[in-house]
Structure 1
Amino acid sequence: MLGIAVIVAALAALIWLAYRGVSLLLLTPVLSVLAVLLAQGGPLLATYTQVFMQATGGFIVQYFPLFLLGAVFGKLMEASGSARVLADGIIRGLGPSRAILAVILSCAVMTYGGVSLFVVAFAVWPIASALFREADLPKVLIPATIALGAFTFTMTALPGTPAIQNAIPMPYFGTDPFAAPGLGVIAGALMLGLGWLWLEYRARRIGPGYGADAGADADAGPSVPPSLFVAALPLVLVLALNLLFTFGVIPRLETAYLAQPLYGQTDVGALRGVWSIIAALSFASLALVALNWRRLAARLSETLDAGARDSLMPIFNTASLVGFGAVIASLGAFGLIRDWVVTAGGDNPLISLAIGTSLLAGMTGSASGGMSIALATLGDTYLEMGRAAGVSPDLLHRVTAVATGGLDALPHNGAVITLLTICGLTHREAYRDIAMVAVVGPIVALVVLIALGTAFGSF
């Protein structure tokens, strides 16, 4: 029981101190070492270098290209004015009376096209602020509105999304980014619908009035922005090329060399999804530069450097949370939790997978971090359980991805903290609505997904 109490205390400290603004890069290794010290007395240095840092480094090695290319692509979208044009076009098309839906869809289009949710938050905030002010809607709903569009259905549910949360399950289950597309669309629609209904209800309940101004404005972009077609084309390319490389190009490549020790003794099935996203983001970024050469040429080097820098903090924060989770997973008490999780669903591995992934995402405050830990420690177990129960790997993939998108948005989540900072609001003012659209809604969608998957299988 002491070990379980230590795990709970470490998680509580992580949430509280992250809420207080302590850097995750400092917080996670300190809490990891303290947890080992209190639970089993050491060895402390070995825990730090051989467990924490090995897990942290392993995550960076495997997923840094996706973070890097996603951040560069997003920065190019921002610097070219494409992000603002897309958001503004959707808002104009729907009108101020649909301000909440307009902001949700603006965020969704950009994140589904591969733009980092951090970039989306910065790009959409000034437009959302102006639109909410014009519609006389309460500013306290802006963070939840942005979170619904950027942190939920486009991150975990919609098939083909280039989000890291959709990429991590692929090497474990041998799947692709379009796993269980029908179920993904249904889960995504539920998240969108429930979240939108809640925000509209809250807008009526709070009543008219924007509130005091606060927050930072984003760069206005180039003086002559691109057309809506030019702004949207790179996002379309990301999705189209992702599909093309996943099912057309990469399966036809000669990849027998991957069985050699030099290349990790693997096969193309484990790498196809990651390779597809890397290729899609690379070609889409080149197309974006070509389409916006006059807008980007003068600041291209500066923009690329900024994008590369923007990738560092998100991946190191996420990787450090993976390291924290790995240390927690190494504690003896974690075995009790793991054994309970594996049996929690009875004969249904989907329930067990959902519970385990959700809990770890909540413990780390990171969807990708929690997912990585769950799959690294239990991925093979779940795959075997799925095979024994006749559950498709595609269904395991989609349940895993959607399960990460609920408890990950607890108050210590880095994206939540960043979003509130951008909007100039506090947890007390705005987190309740974030929790409803980014925690409760995704959990409801997950329950429906599991029920449909159990009844009808993957589709």
Structure 2
Amino acid sequence: MSLGLIGIILSLGLLMYLAYRGINVLILAPLLALLATLMAGGPMLATYTQVFMPALGKYAMTYFPLFLLGAIFGKVMDVSGSAKAIADFIVDKIGAQRAILAIVLACGILTYGGVSLFVVAFAVFPIAAALFKESGIPKRLIPATIALGSFTFTMTALPGTPAIQNAIPSPYFGTNAFAAPGLGLIAGLIMFGGGVAYLNRRSSTLVAAGEVYEPPVMKGGGFFGRGKKDKDLEAKDREATDEAPVAATIESSAADEHIMERPTVPWALAFLPIVVVIALNYALVNWIFPSMDFDYLKQDAYGSVGIDDVAGIWGIIVALVASIAIVLAANWTRIGDVKGAVNEGTMGSLLPIFNTASEVGYGAVIASLAAFTTIKDAVLGVSGNPLVSLALSVNVLAGITGSASGGMSIALEALGTQFKEMAMSQGISLELVHRVTAISSGGFDALPHNGAVITLLAICGLSHRQSYKDIAVVAILVPVLSLVAIIVLGSIFGSF
């Protein structure tokens, strides 16, 4: 094994480990990219300024509007009380006796409408806690329930979702957020149905074993006394939970009180912006943009592109702007400090976009190294079907980085062109490639070091030891099974 290849493997391992230990990727990505460069014998300063930073800048330039508008939309939906109103409405209609289904649907509707999963977690957790306690469902299942509704089928599978994971493939493949809608719906149903079935069965098993909503804290090991091993495990759980991002260090009780003070919003008014995001986006990319003349885009001043290259991004931008305007117009007096809400959402978009862009820069550096050819050949040689190779590379990189968008971006930056050429040469629809790429990003990304997992556990006041097993089933195992099903169906029937 060459020193360059060892450097790549070492830097990837350190990226995963140190990110889990809480070190910000803005520092990690360039340092570890340069470590790999150093071990490969490449020029470090030139690599940083001429490879890393241009890749970071290109990603930020392309996707910053989506991060910005998504963060603002999530914030105004939160402070206006609209997010809580939607959750309350779903719970009221489904009923406390179906608490798991109600919470999954509430989270799903909010995230499908473009509300940030972090906003959803804060808004829904108090409701979930009350429902689960009333129904006698163990509290340890709350994180997996919120995870299922927030970062599985609505993040990667359902056609039209404005999630960044569904937007990133568009510029690479000339597709839009509604790519392969039939396959996306099938994948979404597998994730939703499989996840809910697992959680309901798991709840029944735990309740039958005598577990209640929140078991009393026992002094000592088991019923008689705690041993050193138990204490060490609990200490590790606390340490892992404490390493959540700054936003997640807010104590659950304070967050609950904050959310419960939200204004009361009529449910129809709360749902309106969600409907507009999806409906307007669909109308733009399927009807409005195709009927307009965009020949000017072929000019050098506009990048010499076609409407298919930008329609996917444009549609989400316009839909989010319209929905933000609707939330503000309908809830101006409820929000109170409109300027503060918009400013807070704006600032909240900066760290996520630059975290992901830094990971893209890291991927560009790794892809530029000579030793990467060995990795590329191994990935592309896994299968003659580019869908399989693509699914593998995105899943592995998402798992290493602990980020769905980061792993997908690294894979596409390094291999996107090759995957597109392979698909076109084999007559595989690029819409199918888009959907497989998006779904692949939502598999191994939810490993224990994932920021969303750590934040969710912190919001719920639970540890990895208590709840991660169930998160892994609904956010890793079931999505990967749905991915396999989509690859098989797409390979047999094509895109639909």
Return the TM-score normalized by structure 2.
0.88
Shift in Å at residue 295 of structure 1? Answer: 0.8
| Aligned residue among 403, 409, 413 for 2:446 | 409
Shift in Å at residue 272 of structure 1? Answer: 0.5
Instruction: Specify the alignment match of 1:168 in structure 2.
Output: 168
Instruction: Specify the alignment match of 2:279 in structure 1.
Output: 240
Instruction: Indicate the SS of the match to 1:273.
Output: helix
Using a 3 Å threshold, how does the CA distance of structure 1 residues 248 and 95 change in structure 2: closer, same or farther? same
Instruction: Specify the alignment match of 2:17 in structure 1.
Output: 16
Deviation readout 1:206-259 (Å, 9 max, x if unpaired):
333222797242423666411110111110010110011111222222221211
Instruction: Specify the alignment match of 1:313 in structure 2.
Output: 351
Using a 3 Å threshold, how does the CA distance of structure 1 residues 21 and 377 change in structure 2: closer, same or farther? closer
Instruction: Work out whether residues 407 and 439 of structure 1, in 8 Å CA contact, stay in contact via their aligned partners in 2.
Output: yes
Using a 3 Å threshold, how does the CA distance of structure 1 residues 305 and 456 change in structure 2: closer, same or farther? same
Deviation readout 1:398-450 (Å, 9 max, x if unpaired):
11111111011122222122212212222222222211111111110000000
**Where do 5+ consecutive residues of structure 2 fail to align?**
217-250
Q: Which moved more, 1:214-223 or 1:403-412?
A: 214-223
Q: Could you tell me how far apart the structure 1 residues matched to 2:17 and 2:423 are?
A: 37
Instruction: Specify the alignment match of 2:194 in structure 1.
Output: 194
Instruction: Work out whether residues 325 and 363 of structure 1, in 8 Å CA contact, stay in contact via their aligned partners in 2.
Output: no
Shift in Å at residue 126 of structure 1? Answer: 1.6
Using a 3 Å threshold, how does the CA distance of structure 1 residues 279 and 156 change in structure 2: closer, same or farther? same
Query: Highest CA radius of gyration, 1 or 2?
Result: 2
Q: Which moved more, 1:391-400 or 1:205-214?
A: 205-214
| Aligned residue among 268, 283, 302 for 1:229 | 268
Between the aligned residues of both structures, percent identity stands at 55
Instruction: Indicate the SS of the match to 2:161.
Output: coil
Instruction: Specify the alignment match of 1:253 in structure 2.
Output: 292
Residues 148-187 of structure 1 mapped to structure 2, 5 A cutoff: 148-187=148-187
Instruction: Indicate the SS of the match to 1:369.
Output: helix
Instruction: Specify the alignment match of 1:54 in structure 2.
Output: 54
| Aligned residue among 211, 214, 220 for 2:214 | 211
Using a 3 Å threshold, how does the CA distance of structure 1 residues 83 and 223 change in structure 2: closer, same or farther? closer
Q: Would you say 1:123 and 2:161 are equivalent positions?
A: no
2:326 corresponds to which letter in structure 1? A
Using a 3 Å threshold, how does the CA distance of structure 1 residues 8 and 135 change in structure 2: closer, same or farther? farther
Residues 51-130 of structure 1 mapped to structure 2, 5 A cutoff: 51-130=51-130
1:334 corresponds to which letter in structure 2? F
Instruction: Specify the alignment match of 1:419 in structure 2.
Output: 456
Shift in Å at residue 392 of structure 1? Answer: 0.9
1:246 corresponds to which letter in structure 2? V
1:196 corresponds to which letter in structure 2? V
Shift in Å at residue 373 of structure 1? Answer: 2.1
Instruction: Indicate the SS of the match to 1:344.
Output: coil
Q: Which moved more, 1:147-156 or 1:127-136?
A: 127-136
Instruction: Work out whether residues 14 and 412 of structure 1, in 8 Å CA contact, stay in contact via their aligned partners in 2.
Output: no
Using a 3 Å threshold, how does the CA distance of structure 1 residues 405 and 223 change in structure 2: closer, same or farther? closer
Using a 3 Å threshold, how does the CA distance of structure 1 residues 281 and 329 change in structure 2: closer, same or farther? same
Instruction: Specify the alignment match of 2:481 in structure 1.
Output: 444
Return the TM-score normalized by structure 1.
0.95
| Structure 1 stretches of at least 4 aligned residues deviating more than 4 Å after TM superposition | 221-224
1:92 corresponds to which letter in structure 2? D
Q: Could you tell me how far apart the structure 1 residues matched to 2:145 and 2:6 are?
A: 36
1:67 corresponds to which letter in structure 2? F
